[in-house]
Structure 1
C-alpha cells in the first residue's frame, strides 16, 4: 500500500513558520536602558564649590569705587606685601568683584584641574579682557578644595556710546576659565568601605527598582535588595579593585524600566505644554470655536448752515460686529493615546493658550488620566 505524501500539511506548517518569522521580525523592539542611565551609586557625585575674588585688567568696565571692591583689593595687596594708606579710596574702574563657581567631580585628586565660571556681583559692565586673581574655592563644609586663577573667556559684548546709547550681545558680565582651578583637596566617596553600597534611582519608581534588582540578581545572585522606591542595597566584595570591576559590570546591564507616570507639564511663563506618552483619555468630546469681536470707531463732523450762527459738532459713531468661526468636535474613544490627542487638537487649530484651557477642562471632567504640573 502506498501512503500519500502529506504535501498539504507540510505547506501549512511552512506557512505557519513563515508567519511566526514575520511576526518576530516585525515586532517592535522593547526599549532597554542601561542601569547607569537610570541611577547612580550613593556618594559618587559632584560637589559644588564657590568663592569670592577680584578680576583685574578690565578696560574701564569695572566696579569703580564700590566699597567691597576696595576692601577686596586691600586684601589682595596685603597678601602681596603692599599696604594701602588708611582712608585712601582708589578708583578701580579696571577691577570688578566677582563670584566664582565650580563643580568638583567625584574622585578628583590634588593637582587636577577643573573649569570655573566667574560672574560679577556689582556694577561692572563687562569682564571681557580681565584676569582673575588667585582665589580660594570652598565647599559646603567651609574647607578649601581648589584655587582658581586665569584669563577669562567672555562670550558677550557690551558697548556704550557718549550719548548713553548701549548695545549688548549675550551676557558680557559672565566669563569662564577652562581648567581655571587646581584641586587642592580630595573628597572621600567611601565607595570601597563597608559591606553594602547603595544605588539610587534618578526618579522614584517601585517597578523600575524591582526590575533593576532582578537584572542584577540574575547575573550576580543575592547581590541586590530593594530598600524603597529609590534605593537598592548591593552586597559587594571588599577592595577597591574587585568592587570597581563589579560596579562597572552592573552599570552596563540592560533592562526595560517601568512606564513613566502620566503627566502634563505647563510652563505658565512661556505657554509651553509638554505631554508624555503615558497620557490616556477616557471617552470625551471636545468642541473648539473662534469668536471674533470687532469695534470700529468713527467720528462724524456736522457743519452748521451758512449764516446760521451755529457751531460745528462732532458726534462719535461706533459699529460693533461679531463673527464666530466654524466649530469642530473631536471625539476620543476609550484609551485614546497621545498621538490621537495631538492629531485632534491640530485639526481643531488649537493655540498653546487654548490648549491649556482644554487640558484643564478635560481634567475637571475626569477624562484626562494624568497629573498636571504648572511651573
Structure 2
C-alpha cells in the first residue's frame, strides 16, 4: 500500500487565518543590552582515579606545581607526579547584561586532558576572563555530571552521556560589571531578530501611534531608533511600556525546507507555483529463482532431473499526469501532493525539478 506523505506547514497563519500579534520584546532586542562570554582554566580535584594521565598531559602537572607554590609548597625538580585524582579543565560562562558584583552565574566545566570522568570532582578557585583579559567572575564548587561510565577487567566498557563535562549551578560569583551605554542619554535602538522591512515599519508605526509622531524611526530592515528619556529611571519605565506594545510582524518569505535524512518537508504559507504538469509513476521488476525436480515414474526407465525455473514479474503503477493551476494556495499544494501519492524521496525530486523549471515560486532549502 502506497504511503501518503504528510507535509508540515509552518507559517504565522494560513491564508484563512489572521496574522498573530507579537510583543516588541519578542520581536526585537535593545542594542547594547547583551550578554558577554567568559572563559577560564582551572583544576578539578577529588576524582576517583579518573583524572588525567600526567605523563601524557604535562600541563596538568605544571598547573598543579604552580598552585602548590602559591601555598608555600615546593615540589622537587624532576619529581614525577601521578595525579590520578586531578584533571585540567576549561571553564566557560555567560555574563548576563547589567550583572552586578556579588551575583552568581552558572559555569560549565570541560576536560581538556585525557580524564575519563569528572564525576565527584570539585573545581578549585579559578578566574573567568572576558575578551579584554579582565577577570569578571571567580568560579569554585562541586561539579554535577550527567554522564557516567563503567569498565570491566577484560576491557569492556559502557558510557552514558558525556562524563567529561560537568556544570556548577551558581558556581561563579561576579566580581566586575561590564560597562554599558544604557545611561548615556542617547536614543534607544531596537534590533529585530528577523530582518524585515515590513516589520520594522510596523514597529515604528505602533510606537508613534502611542507616543506621537516621529518618536520612532526605522533605520533599515533590522533597526528602529526611538527617542528616549535621559534619566535612567525614566528610561526603564519607558522601555517597559514599549516592549509590551503588540505588532503584527511581516510574513515570512516563501520557503520549502527539505530534510533529506528524515524525508520531512516543510512548506511555508506563501509558497506558490506557476502552471506546471507533473507525472509520478513507478516500475517494479521482481525476479524469483527456483528449481523444479523432474522425477520418472517408479517403473519407468530414466533419471531424476533438476531444472531451474525463473519467474519474472513486472508491475507498473500508472499515475495520471497532474496539473497545477497558476498560483495555488498551500492547501491546494498539500491536496495535490496527496493525490499524486508521492513518497518522500520522490517528492523531493519533484520539488527540485519544479524549482529548476522555474515553476516553484519559493526558496528551496535542503538540509
TM over 0.5, yes or no?
A: yes
Does the 8 A contact of 1:64 with 1:95 survive in 2? Answer: no
Q: 1:63 aligns with which of 31, 52, 64?
A: 52
Q: In the alignment, which residue of structure 2 is the partner of 1:9? A: none
Q: What does residue 330 of structure 2 align with?
A: 338
Q: CA RMSD in A?
A: 2.7
Q: How does 1:219-234 map to 2 (within 5 A)?
A: 219-221=210-212, 222-234=214-226
Report the 3-state secondary structure (helix = DSSP H, G, I; strand = E; otherwise coil) of the residue aligned with 1:181: strand
2:81 aligns to what SS in structure 1?
Answer: coil
Name the structure 2 match of 1:35: 24
* Structure 1 equivalent of residue 245 of structure 2: 253
Q: Which moved more, 1:315-324 or 1:30-39?
A: 315-324
Secondary structure at the counterpart of residue 177 of structure 1: strand
User: How far, CA to CA, are the matches of 1:136 and 1:150 in structure 2?
Assistant: 13
Q: How far did 1:335 drift?
A: 2.6
Name the residue aligned to 2:363: 371
The equivalent of 1:52 in structure 2 is 41
Structure 2: 5+ residue stretches without partners: 1-15, 293-306
Deviation at 1:355, TM superposition (A): 3.3
Cα separation, 1, equivalents of 2:216 and 2:127 = 41
SS at match of 1:340: helix
Report the secondary structure of 2:78's partner residue: coil
Cα distance in 1 for partners of 2:63, 2:341 equals: 59
1:81 is displaced (CA, Å) by 2.8
Which runs of structure 2 are paired with 1:1-375 in the superposition (5 Å)?
28-65=17-54, 66-221=57-212, 222-268=214-260, 271-294=263-286, 322-327=314-319, 329-375=321-367
Which of 280-289 and 251-260 deviates more? 280-289
Q: Give the structure-1-normalised TM-score.
A: 0.81
- CA distance in structure 2 between the aligned counterparts of 1:119 and 1:267, rounded to whole angstroms: 32
Name the SS of the counterpart of 2:279 in structure 1: strand
Quote the Cα distance in structure 2 between the aligned partners of 1:151 and 1:110: 22
SS in 2 for 1:361: helix
Q: C-alpha distance in 1, partners of 2:74/2:261?
A: 51
Change (3 A) 1:260 1:86: same
How far residue 277 of structure 1 moved from its aligned partner, in angstroms, is 2.1
| Counterparts in 2 of 1:175 and 1:351: CA distance versus 1, 3 Å | farther
Q: Does the C-alpha gap of structure 1 residues 118 and 259 become closer, same or farther in structure 2, counting only changes over 3 Å?
A: same
Could you tell me how far 1:167 is from its partner in structure 2? 1.1
Which deviates the most, 193-202 or 213-222?
193-202
Residue 154 (structure 1) shift: 1.1
Secondary structure of residue in 2 paired with 1:190: coil
Q: Distance in 1 between matches of 2:42 and 2:311?
A: 66
Q: Deviations over 1:297-355 (max 9, x none)?
A: 7899xxxxxxxxxxxxxx99987765444435444333323343334434544444333
For the 8 Å contact 1:64–1:94, the answer to whether it is kept is: no
Q: Give the 3 Å change call, closer, same or farther, for CA 93–294 of structure 1 in structure 2.
A: farther
Q: Is the 8 A contact 1:54 1:97 kept in 2?
A: yes
Change (3 A) 1:125 1:327: farther
Q: Distance in 1 between matches of 2:271 and 2:247?
A: 23
1-structure distance, mates of 2:156, 2:220: 59
Q: Encode CA deviations 1:42-96: one digit per residue, 9 max, x unaligned.
A: 0111111111222111112222121122222223223333232222231222222
| 1:92–1:197 distance in 2 versus 1, CA, 3 Å | same
Aligned equivalents of 2:284, 2:112: Cα separation in 1: 49
